[in-house]
Amino acid sequence: MSDLVPDDLWRRRILPSLLVHEAVCVRATCRPKAALVTAALLVERIDGSLARHSLTGLIDIDRTAPLPFTYVLRAAYVLEQGSNEWPGMRRFIRLAAIYRLTPANGLPLVLSSAIYRLFGHRLTDAGNSLALQQIDDNGRYRIAGGWPFRVVPLGELPGGHGYAEGYKRTDPVIRWPALLFPSFSTFLLERVLVRWCYGKGAGQRKVLRAVIGRDDARYGRVLLTDSITEGLGIVADFRYDGGNLNDANPIVFRSVIVSGWRPNETIAAHLWLGSGYIYLFTTEAPVADRSQPLADRFPVSVGAARRLLRPLGLESDVIDRGTVVG
């Protein structure tokens, strides 16, 4: 029956409506139309996925001819199947570039074969590869020789645990010694902001510290609120529970990235919240000496932090009355 449908109609209407694996089934089972499912067709699908996920210029395939069909098939499939995870990876890649974790020749990162595995081996920190290394078959992994971390299956989380709601098997909860992260993508963001941020040329510095107090309701709002939109900041939480998933009062920490994930941003800045303190970190180079107000020295970072803190009632206490430390 399919051989009665003109090839042009297949190209324009039918094939674009199929998922990648469905198109491959056509190639394998429909002899009259098998020749229509080519590497070139899959490259078009890849370009569409890159544009749809705002990944153009961040990652790409190796376009050196001839393109092996199996290679572009894997890339097309992962780009399509990982649609829910790519926004987080997109933010991670932009920050990785600012922190000089990407190759010397810059972006885009070239895909070699599920999400972080596609490009992690192309990132380095102080010369150490940031490839994802599987340690055993029990869900334990390591990156750059650091402490092992493991995937926490949904079934291990106690009923009512805060990280059980919204659990994604494609972006699972991560245990890293005594710390618990709500997702692998959050774990990666925290590693960039806390551990991989001091590479050559990155220049991250702590510039401001404010003591708000854990009992201050405003601190609780910024620490626990779910209302921080992507227009203001990207939230990365984790908690210290000492390795005990049943801990009723874990210590919650939060980073809010206020600059560095949007297209064309070249400065990474984030607020770090813990134990009643709020810190401002940035890669922005000062444009005035220390005799000048912080807002004049780091205008991009302070401006972004103000926009986040203002509706939470903390702008003045943090920015205007905080202690300048850098």
Yes or no: say if 182 and 237 are a contact pair by the CB < 8 Å rule.
Answer: yes
Residues 28 and 34: their CA atoms lie apart, in Å, by 7
Q: Amino acid identity of 60?
A: D
Q: Amino acid identity of 90?
A: R
- How high is the pLDDT of residue 238? 94
Q: What is the 3-state secondary structure (H, E, C) of 210-233?
A: EECCCCCHHHHHHHHCCCCCCCCC
Residues 189 and 187: their CA atoms lie apart, in Å, by 6
Average per-residue pLDDT for the chain: 84
The model's pLDDT over 91-144, given as tens digits with 9 standing for 90+, comes to 888 998 888 888 777 778 876 544 666 667 667 777 778 888 888 877 788 887
Inter-axis angle of helices 39-52 and 69-81, nearest 10: 30
The model's pLDDT over 151-189, given as tens digits with 9 standing for 90+, comes to 999 999 999 999 999 898 878 899 999 999 999 889 988
Residues 200 and 198: their CA atoms lie apart, in Å, by 7
Q: Is the pLDDT of residue 37 over 50?
A: yes
27-41, 95-109, 284-298, 301-315: segment of lowest average pLDDT: 27-41
61-65, 79-83, 197-201: segment of lowest average pLDDT: 197-201
Percentage of the chain with pLDDT > 70? 84
User: CB under 8 Å to 192, separation ≥6 — which residues?
Assistant: 92, 95, 96, 99, 101
- How high is the pLDDT of residue 168? 87
User: CB under 8 Å to 222, separation ≥6 — which residues?
Assistant: 228, 254, 256, 273, 278, 309, 312, 314
* Domain edges within the chain: 2-81, 86-194, 205-324
Q: Is the pLDDT of residue 9 over 70?
A: no
- How high is the pLDDT of residue 3? 59
Residues 236 and 162: their CA atoms lie apart, in Å, by 14
* pTM: predicted TM-score of the whole model, two decimal places: 0.79
- How high is the pLDDT of residue 137? 77
Residues 281 and 272: their CA atoms lie apart, in Å, by 8
- How high is the pLDDT of residue 1? 43
The larger pLDDT score, comparing residue 123 to residue 191, is at 191
Nearest to 212 by CA among 298, 299, 280: 280
When pLDDT is cut at 50, 70 and 90, the band that residue 32 belongs to is low
- How high is the pLDDT of residue 31? 64
- How high is the pLDDT of residue 199? 62
- How high is the pLDDT of residue 117? 66
Q: Amino acid identity of 35?
A: A
Inter-axis angle of helices 69-81 and 20-29, nearest 10: 140
Q: Sort strands 124-125 and 128-129 into parallel, antiparallel or unpaired.
A: antiparallel
Q: Is 227 exposed, middle or buried (0-12, 13-18, 19+ CB in 10 A)?
A: exposed
Nearest to 128 by CA among 113, 146, 115: 146
Most confident of the following: 22-36, 159-173, 284-298 = 284-298
